[in-house]
Chain A
Amino acid sequence: SYELTQPLSVSVALGQTARVTCGGDNIGRKNVHWYQQKPGQAPVLVIYRDNNRPSGIPERFSGSNSGNTATLTISRVQVGDEADYYCQVWASSTGVFGGGTKVTVL
């Protein structure tokens, strides 16, 4: 079965850039979606189809996808960006989520 690998945690200084990676076999050939989840809340879509932002998501959130790695980039990180982030793809008609990355703002 297809697997997605994310780092457990990423720490970033306030105002700097955070990068969260999502590794998978030839993931560059798939559409990757990213979700933000804050404690006690449901996930929220922040990037879809590799690099598209839903309405209401700040331009500070961006995505890229190539080869075996997809990346979520959060520029000018704010305290409110502290959350868990999950990547997701479809493989063989089944949904697959990464293990999640906790982004901590220092």
Chain B
Amino acid sequence: QVTLRESGPALVKPTQTLTLTCSFSGFSLTTSGMCVSWIRQPPGKALEWLALISWDDDKYYSTSLKTRLTISKDTSKNQVVLTMTNMDPVDTASYYCARISSGGGAGMEHDYWGQGTLVTVSS
């Protein structure tokens, strides 16, 4: 079955760089149409899409956060990594990774999600 799990530091200091890893199983990012997104949710607030990487290594980023984000994949390890630079307390949120299995097509719905990891930015 498809599973995704986020991992990374629970606490980062302001100005530091955050590195999050999404480890997945049950599918391969070498399969045509497969993509992984990162999405975050500040406590009590709405979901915010951050970035996406596709099976053919296309990368897309949130317009407002583009300068701070980098997404990459390691297909041999079944992992997707997101880095976010210059962290600020407003970046405190639960960070989720989610799969898309219909990339390149009409849909691109997030059909499987990880449980999320809470990252707090504080000195």
CB-based contact A43/B47 at 8 Å: yes
Cβ-closest chain B residue relative to A97: B47
Q: Could you tell me the distance between the alpha carbons of A1 and B64 in the complex, rounded to whole angstroms?
A: 10
Instruction: Tell yes or no: A24 within 8 A of B by CB.
Output: no
Chain A residues with CB under 8 Å of B98's CB are: 43
**How many Cβ-Cβ contacts under 8 Å join chain A to chain B?**
61
One digit per residue, 1 when the CB lies within 8 angstroms of any chain A CB and 0 when it does not, for chain B 31-44 equals 00000010100000
| Residue total for A at the interface (Cβ-Cβ under 8 A) | 23
- 11 A-B pairs besides A93-B60, A94-B61 with CB distance below 8 A are A31-B106, A42-B96, A42-B115, A43-B47, A43-B98, A43-B110, A45-B110, A86-B46, A94-B49, A96-B49, A97-B47
Interface residues of A (CB under 8 A from B): 1, 31, 33, 35, 37, 42-45, 48-49, 54, 86, 88, 90, 93-100
The 5 closest A-B pairs by CB, nearest first: A95-B49, A48-B109, A33-B109, A42-B113, A97-B47
Query: Can you list 26 A-B contacts (CB < 8 A)?
Result: A1-B64, A31-B106, A33-B110, A35-B47, A35-B110, A42-B113, A42-B116, A43-B98, A45-B109, A45-B110, A49-B107, A49-B109, A54-B111, A86-B46, A88-B49, A88-B109, A88-B110, A94-B61, A94-B62, A95-B39, A95-B52, A97-B46, A97-B48, A97-B49, A99-B46, A100-B46
